[in-house]
Amino acid sequence: MAYDPPMQTSGPSSDQLAPGRLARWGIGLAALVIPLTTIVSHSFGRSTYPLLLPAIKDDLNISNTQAGFGGGATYVAYLVGVLIVTLIAGRYEPLRIMKAGLATSSIGLMILAIATSFPLVLAGLALLSSGGAGIWLSAPVLATQGVEPHRRGVVIGMLTGTIGLATSIIALGTRGARNFTDNPELWRPVYAVECVGALLILFLISRSLTTHKTERLPAGRISAAGLRSVPGWLPVTLAYVAFGAIAAGYSTFLAEALETDGDVSRDSVSSIYLGLGIASLIGAPLIGGISDRLGRRTAMLGVMSIIGAASVGVATLNGAPLVVIVILFGGLWVSYPTLTATYVRDHLNDRQFGSAFGLMTIFFGLAAIIPPFAAGAVADDRGSFELPYLAFGGLAIVGFIALLFAPGRAAETPNS
């Protein structure tokens, strides 16, 4: 059965990008800078806390339960940010929302760089994560404006590929700084450097890109109309929710689980994170290209399978096999939100995308709140992360089954 494109809203369907003061000759610089923004939302906002968590725990003398509360609070703040963006997406241009997100995240990083107590760490993580929502819900739209539908997977894959590059640099830099200072518990200077990086990216975005004003659309309420117009929206959303729960728990305690259950040294954990970053730098564009050729659902099924295998692997493996499966996970897991975003983007215009994907991300955020806290509490009780990671593997099976009910390639034909 043929797919009927969703009704377009009145007025201009997208914000038109224009060169800013650093790029009056064109938007080439902006095209390079936009992918850098996801470094702030994901590399700084998601990957750094798990990497530094063992040192933060030792320095501030907190338990796994408290550390898990930090991971859960991160997603609560992200959810708040998503709610705000979803409510205002029809009224403000994506670029303006992105700038606000970068500014908020920079303040959060500044607090983390000087935090002397766990409540301050929570406050910094909250601002960093809520700002990250504004970045992530804007970046796919800005990155794909003017891009042909059959190339969107590669483009958004490159958008998240920068996350892998930054994660590698952070891991390498952290390891080098700790060796240079002979301080395995060093963590605040890492956030200080990230704060400088976030402010630089904000400066480049502000100078390299502007938008022409467009007609405002109704805002102030959350509507599921746009999301429901996407073919297979329910199973795709359910799988995205399952992924949210896995990602929150898996990533929060990965370094701690490798040290506790995998007998991996702290120095080696930094090396593994370097491998994770390199793998995702390659994997994200690769998976995006596969989705362009074989369909979004096919790619999502493959990635969900690897996520499940990696979750079980952390619980059951040691040595080289554990390192291999963890790095394979790192190469693919950042692709899953990208694939979901591209699936939605294929069927909706810019304004509709912000509202629809924002609603999906609200469900994602709700699912991500409990797993870090629960995993930390179970680990404190049992002295091991084996059971939580087996549970994450079970959630991956749920996500995989949900995707089997999503429409196949025929219904994934993008709108031009």
More confident call, 188 vs 18: 188
Of 344, 372, 369, which Cα lies nearest the Cα of 358? 344
**In the predicted model, what is the mean pLDDT of residues 23-46?**
73
pLDDT in tens, 194-242: 999 999 999 998 887 776 554 554 555 666 777 888 999 999 999 999 9
Of 356, 316, 320, which Cα lies nearest the Cα of 340? 356
With 0-12 / 13-18 / 19 or more C-beta atoms within 10 angstroms meaning exposed / middle / buried, residue 125 is buried
CB proximity list for 395: less than 8 A, separation 6 or greater:
242, 245, 246, 311
From 102-116, 136-150, 192-206, the region with the lowest mean pLDDT: 136-150
**In the predicted model, what is the mean pLDDT of residues 334-340?**
84
From 136-140, 160-164, 366-370, the region with the lowest mean pLDDT: 160-164
Q: What is the distance between the alpha carbons of residues 204 and 363, in angstroms, rounded to a whole number?
A: 32
Element (H, E) at 360: helix 350-382
Evaluate if residue 25 carries a pLDDT over 50.
Answer: no
CB proximity list for 34: less than 8 A, separation 6 or greater:
139, 142, 143, 159, 205, 209
Confidence of residue 7 (pLDDT cuts 50, 70, 90): very low
- What's the confidence (pLDDT) of residue 88? 81
Residue position matching structure tokens 């952070």:
170
- What's the confidence (pLDDT) of residue 166? 86
- What's the confidence (pLDDT) of residue 121? 95
Distances (CA, A) of 288 to 292, 305, 338: 6, 16, 8
Confidence of residue 18 (pLDDT cuts 50, 70, 90): low
Evaluate if residue 72 carries a pLDDT over 90.
Answer: no
Q: What is the distance between the alpha carbons of residues 375 and 390, in angstroms, rounded to a whole number?
A: 11
- What's the confidence (pLDDT) of residue 4? 35
- What's the confidence (pLDDT) of residue 243? 95
Q: Which two tokens stand for residue 158?
A: 């490159």
Q: What is the distance between the alpha carbons of residues 92 and 360, in angstroms, rounded to a whole number?
A: 19
Of 33, 137, 121, which Cα lies nearest the Cα of 78? 137
DSSP labels, 81-140: HHHHHHHHTTTS-HHHHHHHHHHHHHHHHHHHHH--SHHHHHHHHHHHHHHHHHHHTTHH
Evaluate if residue 404 carries a pLDDT over 80.
Answer: yes
**In the predicted model, what is the mean pLDDT of residues 276-297?**
84
What is the overall mean pLDDT for the chain? 83
Torsions phi, psi for 63 (to 5 deg): -90, 170
More confident call, 12 vs 72: 72
Confidence of residue 392 (pLDDT cuts 50, 70, 90): very high
- What's the confidence (pLDDT) of residue 213? 58
Evaluate if residue 326 carries a pLDDT over 80.
Answer: yes
**In the predicted model, what is the mean pLDDT of residues 379-399?**
95
* Crossing angle between the packed helical segments 233-260 and 64-88, to the nearest 10 degrees: 150
Q: Which domains does the chain have, with CATH numbers?
A: 19-213+221-412 (1.20.1250.20)
- What's the confidence (pLDDT) of residue 20? 55
Q: What is the distance between the alpha carbons of residues 128 and 147, in angstroms, rounded to a whole number?
A: 30
CB proximity list for 238: less than 8 A, separation 6 or greater:
398, 399, 402
- What's the confidence (pLDDT) of residue 319? 84
More confident call, 150 vs 52: 52
More confident call, 260 vs 40: 40
Torsions phi, psi for 287 (to 5 deg): -65, -35
Evaluate if residue 140 carries a pLDDT over 60.
Answer: yes
Evaluate if residue 416 carries a pLDDT over 50.
Answer: no
Q: What is the distance between the alpha carbons of residues 166 and 46, in angstroms, rounded to a whole number?
A: 12
Is this model's pTM higher than 0.85 or not?
Answer: no
Evaluate if residue 394 carries a pLDDT over 90.
Answer: yes
pLDDT in tens, 247-282: 889 988 998 899 888 888 877 887 888 888 788 878
Evaluate if residue 146 carries a pLDDT over 70.
Answer: no
Q: What is the distance between the alpha carbons of residues 301 and 340, in angstroms, rounded to a whole number?
A: 11
**Cβ atoms of residues 135 and 105 within 8 Å:** yes
Confidence of residue 401 (pLDDT cuts 50, 70, 90): very high
Q: What is the distance between the alpha carbons of residues 360 and 228, in angstroms, rounded to a whole number?
A: 11
Alpha carbon of residue 81 to chain centroid:
13
**In the predicted model, what is the mean pLDDT of residues 73-88?**
85
**In the predicted model, what is the mean pLDDT of residues 172-198?**
93
CA angle (139, 140, 143) in 5-degree steps: 80
- What's the confidence (pLDDT) of residue 48? 92
Confidence of residue 180 (pLDDT cuts 50, 70, 90): very high
- What's the confidence (pLDDT) of residue 27? 42
